């Protein structure tokens, strides 16, 4: 096979190699332990850190600070590959990389040099703090405050559902610095260990067990003004543009998970017999499998298109990212759920690995903006035109 950079619907040889790298790393370092991590609710920090040697700590971060300087499309392929081993662990890479990317994109030189080398080498882990107990979908209504005092800001409030909280070292916190609404929000870099920063207990949840989800509690947390990310009042803009990439990544995690579920169901159907023949002989089941595979291909192709649009900074990119997030995470969940059905009662058992994928993929329809909010974004763009 030769390089196919020039054809529009094929990956380049480099991109194929990148996906394969993620698939092998996942297969060798993550998949053998994924069910155990899920059962034990264990956050595999060591394994995550070991991926730094492959360049997975700063996938879309510039190379002067240790990043891999790759495109959004490249990144999508990497999360897809990792998620085939464990969607939940792959999704934490997405959270961390979203934080690193935002600092690279919106940070000043001093901040980039201070935070990014260690984030890229995964010596430090990142967390993204937007949601609050009283504001999820309507994130612009957030109420965490940051008061300016001399050369510093004092933060007070509670952040809800924060992935990686407690284990992470660098928190991007969106907080209100002036008027209500999006323009009164600024972004701050808060380091673990800062006085007044604490965490709630680990939430008990349906899936995503290989990463902690906790409240981040800010009580008179004082950070130097040098930790303000981007100009005052641009925090919401920063949060939203980080989510454009985040949405692609989470969609890619659904794609990889669904891909693994299809593979598991296909292998199972070849071996399982009912009514004297293998399940693969029943046309009803063949058709179901055919539909699953088709949905997977459609989801993949469209996700690549949205990623390419974001790489090209196309004006339509945010809408395409919202569409991709909605479509791919819905398709991914349905495919995984269908795969579970194909395994019959065994699909419902933990040992077969499919119910875990279903549980992990379910939350992708909720976070990084719910799929209803994706429709709000899409519809708004249609009506505005």
Ligand X SMILES: Cc1cc2nc3c(=O)[nH]c(=O)nc-3n(C[C@H](O)[C@H](O)[C@H](O)COP(=O)(O)OP(=O)(O)OC[C@H]3O[C@@H](n4cnc5c(N)ncnc54)[C@H](O)[C@@H]3O)c2cc1C
Binding site residues, other proteins, CB under 8 A: 1-3, 13-14, 17-18, 21, 24-25, 27, 53-56, 59, 63, 68-70, 74, 78, 271-273, 278
* Sites of contact with ligand X (CB under 6 A): 95, 128-131, 136-137, 161-163, 205, 208, 213, 272, 274-275, 279, 282, 284-285, 341-342, 344-346, 348, 363, 366-367, 369-370, 372-373, 376
Q: Using CB distances below 5 to 8 A depending on partner kind, what does residue 142 bind out of ligand X, other proteins, none?
A: none
Q: Using CB distances below 5 to 8 A depending on partner kind, what does residue 18 bind out of other proteins, ligand X, none?
A: other proteins
Specify the residue, 120 or 173, whose C-beta has the smaller distance to ligand X.
173
Q: How far apart are CA 102 and CA 100, in angstroms?
A: 6
Task: Give the shortest CB-14-to-other proteins separation in angstroms.
Answer: 5
Task: Give the shortest CB-271-to-other proteins separation in angstroms.
Answer: 5
Q: 3-state class of 152 per DSSP?
A: strand
Specify the residue, 54 or 202, whose C-beta has the smaller distance to other proteins.
54
Task: Give the shortest CB-301-to-other proteins separation in angstroms.
Answer: 21
- CA angle at 207 for the pair 203 and 210, rounded to the nearest 5°: 80
Q: How far apart are CA 317 and CA 308, in angstroms?
A: 9
Task: Give the shortest CB-22-to-ligand X separation in angstroms.
Answer: 22
Specify whether the CB–CB gap between 160 and 215 falls below 8 A.
yes
CB nearest ligand X: which residue? 136
Task: Give the shortest CB-169-to-ligand X separation in angstroms.
Answer: 15
Task: Give the shortest CB-164-to-ligand X separation in angstroms.
Answer: 7
Quick one: which H or E segment has residue 174?
strand 170-176
Q: Using CB distances below 5 to 8 A depending on partner kind, what does residue 274 bind out of other proteins, ligand X, none?
A: ligand X
Specify the residue, 11 or 129, whose C-beta has the smaller distance to ligand X.
129
Q: Using CB distances below 5 to 8 A depending on partner kind, what does residue 62 bind out of other proteins, ligand X, none?
A: none
Q: Using CB distances below 5 to 8 A depending on partner kind, what does residue 68 bind out of ligand X, other proteins, none?
A: other proteins
Q: How far apart are CA 221 and CA 202, in angstroms?
A: 21
Strand pairing class (152-163; 145-149): antiparallel
Q: Using CB distances below 5 to 8 A depending on partner kind, what does residue 271 bind out of ligand X, other proteins, none?
A: other proteins
3 state SS for 315-353: CCHHHHHHHHHHHHHHHHHHHHHHHHHHCHHHHHCHHHC
Q: Which of 31, 295, 355, 368 is catalytic?
A: 368
Q: How far apart are CA 330 and CA 326, in angstroms?
A: 6
Strand pairing class (273-274; 213-224): unpaired
Q: Is 368 a catalytic residue?
A: yes
Torsion region of 244: left, alpha or beta (phi above 0 gives left; psi -120 to 50 gives alpha) = alpha
- CA angle at 229 for the pair 228 and 230, rounded to the nearest 5°: 110
| Residues taking part in catalysis | 368
């Amino acid at each position: 096979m030769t390089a196919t950079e020039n054809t529009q619907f094929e990956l380049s040889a480099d991109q194929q190699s990148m996906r394969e790298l993620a698939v092998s790393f996942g297969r060798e370092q993550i998949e053998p332990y994924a069910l155990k991590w899920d059962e034990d609710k264990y956050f595999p920090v060591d394994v995550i850190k070991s991926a730094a040697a492959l360049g997975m700590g700063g996938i879309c971060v510039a190379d002067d600070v240790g990043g891999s300087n790759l495109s959004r499309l490249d990144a999508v392929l990497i999360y897809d590959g990792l998620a085939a081993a464990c969607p939940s662990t792959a999704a934490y890479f997405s959270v961390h990389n979203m934080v690193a990317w935002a600092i690279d994109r919106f940070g000043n030189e001093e901040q980039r040099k201070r935070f990014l080398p260690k984030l890229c080498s995964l010596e430090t882990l990142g967390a993204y703090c937007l949601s609050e107990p009283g504001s999820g979908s309507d994130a612009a209504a957030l109420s965490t405050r940051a008061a300016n005092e001399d050369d510093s800001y004092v933060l007070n409030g509670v952040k809800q559902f924060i992935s990686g909280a407690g284990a992470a070292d660098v928190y991007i916190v969106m907080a209100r610095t002036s008027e209500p609404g999006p323009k009164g929000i600024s972004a701050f870099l808060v380091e673990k260990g800062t006085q007044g920063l604490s965490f709630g207990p680990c939430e008990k949840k349906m899936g995503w067990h290989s990463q902690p989800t906790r409240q981040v509690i800010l009580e008179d947390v004082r950070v130097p003004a040098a930790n303000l990310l981007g100009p005052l009042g641009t925090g919401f803009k920063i949060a939203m543009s980080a989510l454009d990439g985040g949405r692609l990544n989470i969609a890619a995690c659904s794609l990889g998970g669904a891909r693994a579920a299809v593979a598991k169901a296909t292998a199972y159907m070849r071996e399982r017999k009912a009514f004297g023949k293998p399940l693969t002989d029943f046309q009803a089941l063949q058709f179901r499998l055919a539909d699953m595979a088709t949905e997977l291909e459609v989801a993949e192709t469209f996700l690549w298109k949205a990623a390419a649009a974001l790489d090209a900074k196309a004006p339509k990119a945010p809408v395409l990212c919202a569409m991709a997030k909605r479509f791919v995470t819905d398709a991914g969940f349905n495919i995984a759920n269908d795969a579970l059905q194909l395994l019959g009662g065994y699909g419902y058992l933990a040992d077969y690995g499919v119910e875990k994928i279903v549980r992990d993929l379910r939350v992708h329809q909720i976070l990084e903006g719910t799929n209803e909010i994706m429709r709000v974004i899409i519809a708004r763009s249609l009506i505005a035109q």
